[in-house]
With several copies, the nearest count.
Chain A
Amino acid sequence: MELAFSAEELGFRDEVRAFIAKNLPASAKANGGRWPHWSKDDIVTWQRILNKKGWAVPHWPEEHGGTNWSAVQRYIFIEELLLAPTPEPLSFNVNMVGPVLCAFGNEAQKDFFLPKLRNLDLWFCQGFSEPGAGSDLASLRTSAVRDGDDYIVNGQKIWTSMAHRADWIFALVRTDPNAPKRQMGISFLLIDMTAPGVTVRGIKTIDDAHHVNEVFFDNVRVPISNRIGEENKGWDYAKFLLGNERTGIARVGLSRERLNRAKRLAEKLPAFNGALADDPQFRRKCATIEMQLKSLEITVMRVLDRQRRRNDSTPDPATSVLKMRGAEIQQSTAELLADVAGPMAAPTDAVRAAYEGDFPTELEETLGIIPHYFNSRAATIYGGSNEIQRNIIAKAVLGL
C-alpha cells in the first residue's frame, strides 16, 4: 500500500495544469466564469485541442485513441479540467457511446464513428428516459419494428440533454415486445437526428434555460447496420454504458471550483458582522465541504484502485457512493454560492436588457448563480436518483 501521490503523478498533474493554462482558448476561459458555462463552440474547440494532443479519450483502448493512463492519472486529468474550469470532453461521446462502440461495435461502425466521436465531428445525445420510464428505465416503450434492412422507430424520449445541439442520438428501443422479461427485447440503436420523422421539442427548465428536450420518433427509418451488437441485447450494452468509466462521476474538481468561487465572492460582501469571508459560520461551511471533498476524493481513488484490480466489466456498486455523495456535495456548493449571492441572485438574465448595453461587469458575478442552484437540484435526480443509488447500496453492497 502506498498512500501518497507519487512524484510521477504529481509531475503529471503539473503537466496537465500547464497544458490547460497554455491552450485553453480565451473565450472558454471567460465563459468558465459565468453560467451557463460554455457555448457549443467552446466545447467543440476545446475537445479538438485535446484530441490533437491525444487526450480526448484517455480511457479508450489505445488503438482507438486511448492513452493507457493509470486510473489515478485519469482521475487527475478530469479533475484538473473541472477545477480550471475547462469545458469537459462531451460525456455522451467519450464516456457513453464511445466505449460501447469500442466494446461491442463492428469494424465498420468503429471506423466510421470513433474518430468523429473523439474529434466531436459528430455530437451525440442519449435517448434512454421516457415519460413513463424514469427511474424505472426498463419499462421503456419506444418501438423498433423490422422492415427490410431498416427498423421503423416510433415513440418518445424525454430529458434528452442537448438534443437540440446533437447530430446523432443513441437510443434504447424495444424490438421484442413479447420478451418474457422487461429487460429483454431491447436494442441499442444509433439514429441520425436529421432523419425524417425525428422531432425535438425543448423543455424549459426552472433555471430559465434550455438544456433538455423531448425527442419524438414518428416512423423513423434506421438502418439495421446502425444497431450496436445483437438484437434484443441492448439492456446489456446499456448496463455496460452506465457502469463504465465513473472516474469523473464524483465531480470533485467541479465542487472545488465552485467553493473557490464562493470564497472569492464572499470577500466582497458583508455578513451579519464583518466581511462574509470572515464570518465563522461561512468559514465553517467551507471547511465542512472541504472535509467532505477530501473524504470523497480518497474514496474515488480507492474505488478506481479496486476497479483496476477487479478486472471485471460489471459496474462496481461502490460507484453508487461516488455518484450519490458527489451529487450531494455539488448541491451543497451550489447552495453555498446562492447563499453568498443573497438578494443579488434574484434578477433573471433580462436584467441585461434593462441596462441597455451598460451592464456593470460586477453584476455578472452573481447573475447565473440562482439558476445554477435551481439546476443543481437535478444532480440527485438524473443518472439514477439518490434514492436509486441508496437502493443499489442496500441491495448490491449490503445484501438487504
Chain B
Amino acid sequence: MDFELSNEQQLLKDSVDRLIADRYDLRARGKILESDAGWSREIWSTLADLGFLGLPFSAEDGGFGGGPVEQMIIQEAFGRGLLVEPYLATVILGGSAITLAASPERRVEILGGVTEGRRLLAFAHGERLSRYRLRQVAATARGDSGDWVLDGEKTTVIHGGEADTLIVSARTSGGKDDEDGISLFVVPANTAGVTVRAYPTFDGMRGADITFASVTLTSDALLGEADKAYPVIEHVEQHGIAAVAAESVGLMQAALDMSVEYLKTRTQFGRPIGEFQVLQHRAADMYVAVEEARSIAIHAAMMVGEADPAARRQAMATAKAQIGVSAREVGQSGVQLHGGIGITEEYAIGHYFKRLSMIERQFGDVEHHMALLASLEGPG
C-alpha cells in the first residue's frame, strides 16, 4: 500500500488541473451552459487531445491503458471544475459497457472513435418505474428471423440526447424483475423508431427520455451474450460509482474550500463569521466528511476492477453509500454556512450542492446500497 502518486500520475494530475484552472472557471462554465448545446465541443476536443477520452481503454482497443488511479485523478479534477461534458456517459458508462461485452472488432471500432472524440455513447438502461433496481427491465427485444425488434422506453438517460450510439438494455426472456433474460444492444441513435427527448438536468448535465417503437436491429446489434447482460450492467454501474465517487471528492473539496473562504471573509455582528465556534465545528465536520469520501473513493478505485463479483459488489455498495452520506453532509452544510446567498445561482456553492445532490441519486442512493449491504452476510 502506497498513496504517493508516481511521476506519471503527477504529470497527469498537473495536466488536468491546469485545464480546469485555465479554462473551466464558473464563468466559462456558465457560458457553456448558456450555449445551445449546453456543453462544449471545443473542450471535448481538448479532452481528446490530452488523451483523457481514451484513458481507460487498453492500447489494443485504441486507448491509453490508464488504471483506476489515473481515472480517479481525472474525475476528481472534473468534479472540482463541475465539468458538464458527456464524459461519464461516453467514456465511463458507454466505454465500460463496450469494454466488458463487445467483440474485439467492435471494441476497436467504437472505443477508437470515442478516444478520438468522434463518437459519443450513452447507456440507456433506467426506466420510469425501475428506480435503482437494475434487474427491473420492461423494454423488450424480440428475435425476429435473425433480427431483433426493440420496444420500450428509457428515462433520464445521462446525456442520451448527445449520443450517436446508444447501448440499450432490453428483456429478451423472463419476467420484468428477473436478473436472467436481459440483453444489451448497440443502437445508432438515428435508427428508425428511436425518439429522443433531451433536456437539461439540475446539475448542468443533460438527460433524455428515449422511446423505441418497433426498432428493427440486425443480429450484430447484440452486445455480448443474449439473456446474460445483468452482470455487465451491474459492472457498468459500478464503473459509474467509482467515477462519481472520485468526482464527488473534487466537488466536496471545492465546496469545503469555498465555504471556509466565505467564513473567513463574511462579517456579521462585527466579526468574520468564521470566529463563531459552531460554524467552525460545522466546517470541521465537513472536512471529516470529505476525508471519508476521499478514502472511500480510493477504495472504489481499488475494487472496481476486482474479479470476484461478491467482493466487488460489497465494496462498491459501501463506497456509494459513504459518498452519498458525505455528499449530503458537505452539500447541505456548504449551503447553510453561506446563508441566503448559498441558495442563489450567482454563487458557486449552490452549483456544487446541486451536482452532489444528483450524484446521490445516480447508480443507487444511500438507502439502496445500505439495503444491499444489509442483505449480504457481513465480513464478520
- Check whether chain A touches chain B (CB < 8 angstroms): yes
- Identity of the chain B residue whose Cβ is nearest the Cβ of A294 in the assembled complex: B318
- Identity of the chain A residue whose Cβ is nearest the Cβ of B10 in the assembled complex: A1
Chain B CB count within 10 A is highest, among A212, A297, A354, for A354
Of A4, A135, A268, A351, which contacts B197 at CB under 8 A? A351
* A281-B370, A287-B370, A343-B156 known; A321+B288 contact, CB < 8 A: yes
Give the shortest distance, in Å, between B241 (CB) and chain A (any CB).
14
Is the beta-carbon distance between A398 and B207 smaller than 8 angstroms?
Answer: no
B90 CB–A CB distance under 8 Å: no
Determine the distance from Cα of A375 to Cα of B8 in the docked complex, in whole angstroms.
44
B371 CB–A CB distance under 8 Å: yes
Chain B positions 134-167 with a Cβ under 8 Å from a chain A Cβ: 136, 155-156
Determine the distance from Cα of A390 to Cα of B325 in the docked complex, in whole angstroms.
19
Contact with A along B341-380 (1 / 0, CB 8 A): 0111110001101100110011001011011111100111
Is the beta-carbon distance between B2 and A2 smaller than 8 angstroms?
Answer: yes
A66 CB–B CB distance under 8 Å: no
| Interface hit among B42-50, B91-99, B110-118, B279-287 | B279-287
A25 CB–B CB distance under 8 Å: no
Contact with B along A367-386 (1 / 0, CB 8 A): 00011011101101110010
- Identity of the chain B residue whose Cβ is nearest the Cβ of A305 in the assembled complex: B3
- Identity of the chain B residue whose Cβ is nearest the Cβ of A75 in the assembled complex: B1
A205 CB–B CB distance under 8 Å: yes
- Identity of the chain B residue whose Cβ is nearest the Cβ of A394 in the assembled complex: B280
* A268-B129, A302-B3, A343-B361 known; A205+B343 contact, CB < 8 A: yes
Chain B: interface size category:
35 or more
Give the shortest distance, in Å, between B236 (CB) and chain A (any CB).
15
Chain B positions 71-126 with a Cβ under 8 Å from a chain A Cβ: 126
Is the beta-carbon distance between A305 and B336 smaller than 8 angstroms?
Answer: no
Is the beta-carbon distance between B302 and A348 smaller than 8 angstroms?
Answer: no
B199 CB–A CB distance under 8 Å: yes
Is the beta-carbon distance between A1 and B132 smaller than 8 angstroms?
Answer: no
Is the beta-carbon distance between A206 and B131 smaller than 8 angstroms?
Answer: no
Give the shortest distance, in Å, between A316 (CB) and chain B (any CB).
12
Give the shortest distance, in Å, between A235 (CB) and chain B (any CB).
16
* A321-B291, A398-B260 known; A342+B69 contact, CB < 8 A: no
Determine the distance from Cα of A374 to Cα of B328 in the docked complex, in whole angstroms.
12
Which of chain B's residues have a CB closer than 8 A to the CB of A1?
Answer: 2-6, 9, 69
| Interface hit among A101-109, A192-200, A241-249, A270-278 | A270-278
Determine the distance from Cα of A138 to Cα of B237 in the docked complex, in whole angstroms.
52
Which of chain B's residues have a CB closer than 8 A to the CB of A276?
Answer: 131
* A4-B1, A342-B131 known; A206+B343 contact, CB < 8 A: yes
B264 CB–A CB distance under 8 Å: yes
A353 CB–B CB distance under 8 Å: yes
* A354-B209, A400-B264 known; A281+B371 contact, CB < 8 A: yes
Chain A CB count within 10 A is highest, among B275, B276, B284, B298, for B284
A279 CB–B CB distance under 8 Å: yes
* A281-B367, A339-B365, A399-B264 known; A377+B343 contact, CB < 8 A: yes
Which of chain A's residues have a CB closer than 8 A to the CB of B371?
Answer: 271-273, 279-281, 284
* A136-B268, A270-B129 known; A287+B378 contact, CB < 8 A: yes
Is the beta-carbon distance between B199 and A380 smaller than 8 angstroms?
Answer: no
Chain A CB count within 10 A is highest, among B275, B292, B299, for B292
With contacts A204-B344, A347-B207 known, what are 4 further pairs, Cβ within 8 A?
A: A205-B350, A281-B367, A284-B374, A346-B203
A-B contact pairs, 27 of them (CB 8 A): A1-B3, A1-B9, A3-B3, A159-B340, A204-B345, A205-B350, A263-B380, A270-B130, A271-B131, A271-B368, A276-B131, A279-B367, A299-B295, A321-B288, A339-B365, A346-B202, A347-B202, A347-B207, A348-B200, A351-B209, A374-B353, A377-B336, A381-B340, A382-B340, A400-B275, A400-B280, A400-B283
Task: Please give me the 10 A-B residue pairs with the lowest Cβ-Cβ distance, nearest first.
Answer: A272-B371, A298-B295, A394-B280, A283-B374, A287-B373, A206-B350, A3-B302, A393-B284, A354-B197, A295-B292
